[in-house]
Amino acid sequence: MRLRRSVWSVGHVLTAALLAITLAACRDGGPTTETAAATSPRDPQPAALHGRVRLDPTQVKQIRIEELSTHAPTNAIKATGTVEFNADRMAKLLPPVSGQVQDLRINVGDGVHQNDVLFVLSSREVAAAVAEHQSSHKDLELAEKTHAMTKDLFEHQAASRIALEQSESELAKARSRVMQTEENLQVLGLDPNSEEDPNRVQPRVPVRTPIAGTVIERNVTNGQFVGPEASPLVTIADLSNVWVQGDVFERDLRHISIGQKADVTTAAYPSDRFSAQVSRIASVVDPQTRTAKVRFLVTNPGGRLKPGMFASINLYLSDGANSLTVPATAVFVENGRTFAYVQTGSQEFARRELETVTSGSDRLRVVRGAQAGERVVSDGVLLLRQLESDASPQ
């Protein structure tokens, strides 16, 4: 009886110990509800592996995607330059004779028409030139009469051949002098055929503009005495077209030829494009900037382009073939190689190497690496690059 009671006690002790061990094991090794929740699988997170990036739906909304297509683009080379006067359409007026400026009719900024009188010079040289011209005509009349009489006498054997030849020489000299004095009057802006008495001729020379345009410089005032050796008194420029002196990189010179079409924009008129064409290509390259000067003749409606303005130039290249283009914002350069992110799934994108060339102001022509119909990230490339960088092993 005592033995049976002892066995029963030992059994209870062993059972209690086994229960305690089991509880401890559950407490130390088994996962609790909180631990299980913490280690349960979550929704997929953005990831990048070997150039591939996965975005969550919120991040997809932060980017812009464009489908690539082919079309016939107008390729262009971009350059910068400065607006200048067209030197072929300028006139710098010097005084034809010494004299005093009178009746000044223009100011800087005034528009003038061809042959308009700008001012008048009062000069004694004018009256002297007119008198010399009329004197030359009288000498010519006398030489003609003398030659006619001598020729008649020679034909009747009443004058020698020497006398006839001398009269012919005097006649030639008189004619030459008349022509010279007529040219002198024309230079002075006077009519050489005027019959006005030289004693009554007003010693005034009208100074006229040879071209239509705008007065851009005036270095004279009423009453000022000037001479032929003076610097230009008035400068006229035709602003209907101007020059833009552009700086083109030497690598692009092979694409440029005289007469090639271009357009010009400025900060003052950013939405306006001014038609232009290449009129001159420099023969040398600047060793510091590795650029050459290329001159463009630019149409300037309304005179809006002002000399001294900075200009942006798009020089068009003829290429009629259909080409695949990509937004310039879609590509990035890394270690000298060009890449873009191509969409491979609704939320997945893969880095793709491209070969591109310039095509217009905001697009690149794809030579290799992509096909029409593929979709690329056109805005938000920086986000994908950051995610790819964060996921890459350090």
Q: How far apart are CA 296 and CA 294, in angstroms?
A: 7
Residue type, 301: P
> φ and ψ at 161, to 5 degrees?
-65, -35
Structure tokens at 383: 């986000």
- Residues facing residue 340 across a β-bridge: 352
**What's the maximum distance between 2 C-alpha atoms anywhere in the chain?**
199
Amino acid 48: pLDDT: 42
Q: How far apart are CA 255 and CA 269, in angstroms?
A: 27
Strand 363-368 with 332-334, pairing: unpaired
Q: What does 14-31 look like in DSSP terms, one character per residue?
A: HHHHHHHHHHHHHHHHS-
Instruction: Look at residues 230, 262, 228, 227 and name the one whose alpha carbon lies nearest to residue 248.
Output: 262
Q: What is the pLDDT along the chain (394 residues), one digit of tens a residue?
A: 444 444 444 455 444 444 454 544 444 444 444 443 333 344 444 444 457 899 999 999 999 999 998 865 556 788 999 999 999 999 999 888 888 899 999 999 999 999 999 999 887 777 777 778 888 888 889 989 998 998 888 888 888 889 888 989 998 998 998 898 888 877 776 766 665 554 455 567 888 999 999 999 999 999 998 887 778 999 999 999 999 999 999 988 888 889 988 999 999 999 899 999 999 999 999 999 999 999 999 999 999 999 999 999 988 775 545 678 888 899 999 988 999 999 999 999 999 999 987 665 577 888 899 999 999 999 999 999 999 888 776 5
Q: What is the pTM of this model?
A: 0.52
Residues 35, 39, 42, 47, CA torsion sign:
positive
Amino acid 195: pLDDT: 55
Amino acid 343: pLDDT: 95
Amino acid 159: pLDDT: 82
Q: Which fold has domain 77-87+237-317?
A: Elongation Factor Tu (Ef-tu); domain 3 (2.40.30)
3-state SS assignment for residue 251: helix
The answer to whether the CB of 103 falls within 8 A of the CB of 242 is no
3-state SS assignment for residue 141: helix
H or E segment to which residue 182 belongs: helix 161-187
Amino acid 394: pLDDT: 57
Amino acid 7: pLDDT: 41
Residues with Cβ within 8 Å of residue 312, at least 6 apart in sequence: 78, 79, 80, 264, 265, 266
Q: Give the Å distances, CA to CA, from 131 to 126, 157, 202.
A: 9, 39, 12
What's the CATH class of domain 52-74+321-391? Answer: mainly beta
Q: Give the Å distances, CA to CA, from 194 to 189, 198, 369.
A: 12, 10, 82
Amino acid 194: pLDDT: 60
Amino acid 56: pLDDT: 93
User: Long-range contacts: 269-277, Cβ < 8 Å, 24+?
Assistant: 269/304, 272/304, 274/298, 274/299, 274/300, 274/301, 274/305, 275/299, 276/244, 276/313
Residue type, 2: R
Amino acid 44: pLDDT: 42
